[in-house]
């Protein structure tokens, strides 16, 4: 269900939902929920199941109940579009939680910060805590380890023959970790494994370390 990792002397737990729990801070990091996206696309005729809307809130409830954090930091693209019917559901969800909520704003967060402040959500452009920098877009800054989202990272795994599967993943380099998209109906972007990176794929209710050396070897042998 979770996979532990140590970063800069701090303890973190990667959850199969795509959330990351910072143990010492009791902080839950979640990126790219894209609430409102399903209703936005349904409005324009896309055949997206209505129940997918509730799935986002069910998953949020599951991960909050599992970790019982003191703080949730949404790392951008919390709400995909302008206000629609999902905003009322989000307000109800926020009011049901007795914890601090922070939004590190992303490129899709176009709703006025006043709407968030009215339900006691703090909106900021970035969060610096100890030697960690939390942003929406991946960023490199000397002296900091960066947590970000935006990319919706995925990894392509190949089996025998032409079989392959693409899985969302946590993608870590020496100074950065990109979180997978948390929300339903978000899509993914396949990243190539780099030298020295670590990849943790999400499969069902598991977080699986991907052996990068073997993955790169298989791709080399196919050329």
What pLDDT does 85 receive?
79
What pLDDT does 218 receive?
46
CB atoms closer than 10 angstroms to residue 179: 26
Separation of CA 114 from chain center: 24
Minimal CA–CA distance to 183: which of 9, 41, 68, 43?
Answer: 41
CA distance 44 to 34: 17
What pLDDT does 215 receive?
56
What pLDDT does 200 receive?
97
DSSP secondary structure letters along the chain? -EEEEEETTEEEEEETTS-EEETTTTEEEE----BTHHHHHHHTT----THHHHHHHHHHHHHHHHH--SEEEE-S-SB-SSS-THHHHHHHHHHT--SEEEEE--TT--S-HHHHHTTTEEEES-EEETTEEE-SS----TT-EEEE-SS-EEEEEE-STT-EEEEEEEEEETTEEEPPP-SSS---EEPPP-TT-EEEEEETTEEEEE-HHHHHHHHHHH-
What pLDDT does 71 receive?
98
Per-residue pLDDT tens, the chain, 223 aa: give them. Answer: 899 999 999 999 999 999 999 999 999 999 999 887 655 444 545 545 566 678 889 999 999 999 999 999 999 999 877 677 789 899 999 999 999 999 999 998 889 999 999 999 999 999 999 999 999 999 999 999 999 999 999 999 876 666 788 999 999 999 999 999 998 667 789 998 888 899 999 999 999 999 876 555 444 343 3
For residue 27, give every residue at least 6 positions away whose Cβ sits within 8 Å of its Cβ, in sequence order, or none: 21, 69, 70, 71, 72, 73
Minimal CA–CA distance to 30: which of 96, 99, 115, 130?
Answer: 99
CB atoms closer than 10 angstroms to residue 83: 13
What class does CATH assign to 2-222? alpha beta
CB 138 within 8 A of CB 145: no
Q: How far is CA 219 from CA 1, 52, 86, 190, 203, in A?
A: 29, 35, 43, 14, 21
CB 214 within 8 A of CB 158: no
């Amino acid at each position: 269900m979770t996979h532990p990792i140590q970063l800069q002397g701090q303890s973190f737990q990667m959850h199969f939902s795509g959330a990351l729990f910072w143990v010492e801070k009791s902080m839950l990091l979640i990126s790219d929920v894209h609430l409102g996206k399903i209703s936005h696309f349904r409005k324009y005729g896309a055949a997206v199941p209505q129940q997918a809307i509730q799935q986002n809130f069910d998953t949020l409830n599951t991960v909050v109940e599992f970790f019982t954090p003191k703080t949730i930091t949404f790392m951008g693209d919390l709400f995909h579009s302008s206000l629609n019917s999902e905003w009322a559901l989000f307000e109800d969800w926020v009011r049901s939680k007795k914890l601090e909520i922070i939004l590190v704003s992303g490129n899709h967060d176009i709703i006025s910060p006043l709407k968030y402040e009215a339900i006691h959500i703090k909106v900021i452009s970035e969060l610096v805590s100890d030697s960690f920098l939390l942003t929406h877009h991946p960023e490199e800054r000397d002296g900091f380890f960066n947590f970000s989202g935006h990319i919706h990272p995925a990894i392509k795994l190949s089996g025998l023959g032409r079989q392959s599967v693409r899985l969302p993943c946590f993608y870590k380099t020496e100074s950065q970790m990109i979180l997978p998209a948390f929300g339903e109906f978000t899509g993914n972007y396949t990243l190539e494994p780099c030298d020295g990176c670590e990849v943790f794929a999400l499969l069902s209710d598991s977080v699986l370390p991907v052996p990068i050396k073997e993955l790169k070897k298989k791709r080399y042998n196919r050329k």
